[in-house]
Amino acid sequence: MDVADSLAANAATALAAVRDLMPSAGGNDELKATLHDITAMAHLGNYYAEKIRGAAQLALFDTTGKPGQREAAVRHLLFAVDHWKRYASAYTLQYRQPLLYNRVGTVDLPAFVAKTEQDVAIARLWAPGTVPDQQPVRPADRPFRK
């Protein structure tokens, strides 16, 4: 939860700085572009903060079965959807969509809204005890030995 809080705090700081700096950007297109990028990244930070909070609440609900925790998970994930929409909107102000990236292929950020909405649907339908208590340890999950 500390990571989520840190992401949200940094995003709020960035958005406040952009609000303060944008009026002085004037005709400086490079500064405006940078400020738009900062805005997009701040919204992405807020998205991840809410996604982490939603996942944590859903994990608690999985363990305890308390409906309030599922409701909290859904609420956080709905906030995440909103932040993704803001991120995609800010990003597409400067960059055409979809974009072709050499390692991942075509990426269309506005189209990913549907994926964020699927997270909400999953949380709404989640049944307690879905995740087994003991997961097998994969070799990649073992820490390095000295």
What is the Cα–Cα distance from 118 to 38, expressed in whole angstroms? 27
Specify the pLDDT at position 142.
Answer: 67
Q: What is the pTM of this model?
A: 0.86
Dihedral pair phi/psi, residue 80, rounded to 5°: -60, -40
Mean pLDDT in consecutive groups of 10 residues from the start of the chain, 146 residues: 97 98 94 96 98 97 96 98 97 87 88 96 94 70 64
